[in-house]
């Protein structure tokens, strides 16, 4: 048998895509996304339970997206998940990122930003609001996001 030392073409497409998950298909993806969603909920202070969030996505109150693809063309992987909601206010509509969790951000951050803009435009939003850690500032600056507020959080212990 002769083995070739030539570099093989990737078997699958290289790159990470942002894929919307239909509310009717949430149950099909949940187990795959569960760990990243739970990490995001924990970082956000566990104000919603996993079950509540899942139901709100299925009810259409939130929108679920996954970042999935391959960086090497050999194997596919889940790189992240984010959740949005469209909120109506008296003076305008806002697209909000309520949860974002993932790995290797450099592979998908620009694509996520483009998808967010498309989502906001298609839903006639006046703006996009993202509650994020300070490390996201560089990307926000790149895409024209401005810091409007800082969130100060203090946990209150009862009992």
pLDDT at 106: 93
Does 154 map to a domain? no
State the residue range of the domain holding 69: 15-142
Give me the CATH number covering residue 37: 3.40.630.30
CA distance 127 to 88: 11
At residue 97, the 3 state secondary structure works out as: strand
Does 151 map to a domain? no
CA distance 101 to 78: 11
Does 128 map to a domain? yes
Does 158 map to a domain? no
pLDDT at 131: 81
Does 121 map to a domain? yes
pLDDT in tens, the chain (159 residues): 555 556 666 678 899 999 999 999 999 999 999 999 999 999 888 889 999 999 999 999 999 999 999 998 888 999 999 999 999 999 999 999 999 999 999 999 999 999 999 999 999 999 999 888 777 788 888 888 888 777 777 777 887
Report whether 13 contacts 69 (CB < 8 A): yes
The strand pair at 77-89 and 15-21 is best described as unpaired
Phi and psi at 118, nearest 5°, equal -65, -40
- Total count of domains within the chain: 1
pLDDT at 15: 92
Report whether 103 contacts 80 (CB < 8 A): yes
pLDDT at 136: 78
Does 7 map to a domain? no
Does 8 map to a domain? no
pTM: 0.85
Q: Give residues with Cβ within 8 angstroms of 145, minimum separation 6.
A: 128, 130, 139
pLDDT at 10: 62
CA distance 86 to 95: 5
CA distance 31 to 18: 18
The strand pair at 127-130 and 92-102 is best described as parallel
CA distance 16 to 42: 25
pLDDT at 95: 96
pLDDT at 5: 54
């Amino acid at each position: 048998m002769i083995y070739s030392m030539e570099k093989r073409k990737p078997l699958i497409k290289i790159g990470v895509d942002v894929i919307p998950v239909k509310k009717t298909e949430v149950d099909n993806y949940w187990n795959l996304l569960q760990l990243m969603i739970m990490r995001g909920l924990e970082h956000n202070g566990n104000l919603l339970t996993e079950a509540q969030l899942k139901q709100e996505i299925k009810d259409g109150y939130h929108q679920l997206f996954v970042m999935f693809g391959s960086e090497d063309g050999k194997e596919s992987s889940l790189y992240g998940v984010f959740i949005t909601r469209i909120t109506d206010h008296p003076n305008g509509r806002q697209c909000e990122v309520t949860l974002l969790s993932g790995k290797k951000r450099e592979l998908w951050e620009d694509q996520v930003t483009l998808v967010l803009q498309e989502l906001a435009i298609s839903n006639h939003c006046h703006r996009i609001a993202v509650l994020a850690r300070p490390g996201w500032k560089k990307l926000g600056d790149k895409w024209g996001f401005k810091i409007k507020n800082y969130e100060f959080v203090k946990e209150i212990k009862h009992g």
